[in-house]
Amino acid sequence: MIRVSVDPAPIEVASELAALEAHGAGAIASFTGIVRGDDGVTCLELEHYPGMTEAALCDIAEQAVARWSLLSAVIVHRIGPMSPGERIVFIGTAAQHRHAALDACSFLIDRLKTDAPFWKREVTDRSPRWVAARADDDQAASRWTRSADRPA
């Protein structure tokens, strides 16, 4: 099962985990991203390209399900304005064994950061600024193309 959600509503981690556990897997892995208040950020505004964003996330999830034989993959991403401390993304994977669940979870967040069309704008007490792509995100995503089974 694959579930992708792009929505301004707060992310309910407990309900997301419970849904993953319902699949009878031997392992559940998850990642929750939190809005940081670095450099005086008071608000993070996230925009996306409706339809294209969901399609990109579904594609990434389908790759993970096929590569690691997952029972389930969930990607929940918020859009709109968010304050530091709020959840921005939830990634969850369900698999028969821990290595598959953990590797797939890492793959999903690494690839989401580079492959999904989101735009972030940080609001500070100075002036709003768009967040540029980061080389370390590209490097993290590229490690998944080196090996069919494990990151480098």
pLDDT tens series, the chain, 152 aa = 999 999 999 999 999 999 999 988 999 999 999 999 888 899 999 999 999 999 999 999 999 999 999 999 999 999 999 999 999 999 999 999 999 999 999 999 999 998 999 999 999 888 888 887 777 867 877 888 855 445 54
Radius of gyration of the chain (CA): 16
The residue whose two tokens read 């304050």 is 83
Q: Which is nearest to 137 in space by CA: 117, 119, 116, 111?
A: 111
* Neighbouring C-alpha atoms within 13 Å toward the C-beta of 13: 13
pTM score, two decimals? 0.89
